[in-house]
């Protein structure tokens, strides 16, 4: 973050694994919040679909969005830890469920 950029009040860390179908809907929900002083860290966790490419496109559309790539799949906890290491906000929140294309029973 450069000196000219204002530090966001809140950082929201969202792990993503094969969630290409669900990322935009989730992100739209986050971006519609009343509080607008935040950043969203989308952490791609070894996806094999088009998640990473989509995250990069979404990042280009809104300066509050940052995308990070985990490389190999390490799981939601590792992705949240990676995102928290890169956060700029004073307060940070975790999106508790990984955005993924898996069916959870």
Q: Return the CATH number at 91.
A: 3.90.550.10
- Judge whether 73 lies within some domain: yes
55: which residues sit within 8 A by CB, 6+ positions away?
16, 23, 42, 44, 67
Compute the distance between CA of residue 95 and CA of residue 26 in angstroms, rounded to an integer.
10
Average pLDDT across the chain, whole number: 85
Which helix (DSSP H) or strand (DSSP E) does residue 26 occupy?
A: helix 23-31
- Judge whether 48 lies within some domain: yes
- Judge whether 69 lies within some domain: yes
Domain containing 45: what range?
10-100
Compute the distance between CA of residue 104 and CA of residue 66 in angstroms, rounded to an integer.
27
Q: pLDDT tens digit string along 14-54?
A: 999 999 999 999 999 999 999 999 999 999 999 999 999 99
Stated pTM of the model? 0.82
- Judge whether 59 lies within some domain: yes
Higher-confidence residue of 102 and 7: namely 7
Q: Which residues make beta-bridge pairs with 86?
A: none
Compute the distance between CA of residue 10 and CA of residue 13 in angstroms, rounded to an integer.
10
Above 70 in pLDDT, residue 95?
Answer: no
- Judge whether 4 lies within some domain: no
Domain count for the chain, please give it.
Answer: 1
């Amino acid at each position: 973050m450069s000196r000219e950029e204002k530090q966001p009040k809140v950082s929201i860390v969202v792990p993503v694994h094969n969630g290409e179908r669900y990322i935009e809907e989730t992100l739209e929900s986050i971006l519609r919040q009343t509080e607008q002083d935040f950043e969203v860290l989308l952490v791609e966790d070894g996806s094999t679909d088009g998640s990473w490419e989509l995250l990069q496109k979404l990042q280009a559309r809104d300066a509050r969005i940052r995308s990070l790539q985990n490389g190999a799949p390490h799981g939601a906890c590792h992705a949240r830890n990676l995102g928290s290491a890169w956060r700029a906000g004073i307060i940070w929140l975790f999106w508790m469920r990984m955005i993924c294309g898996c069916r959870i029973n």
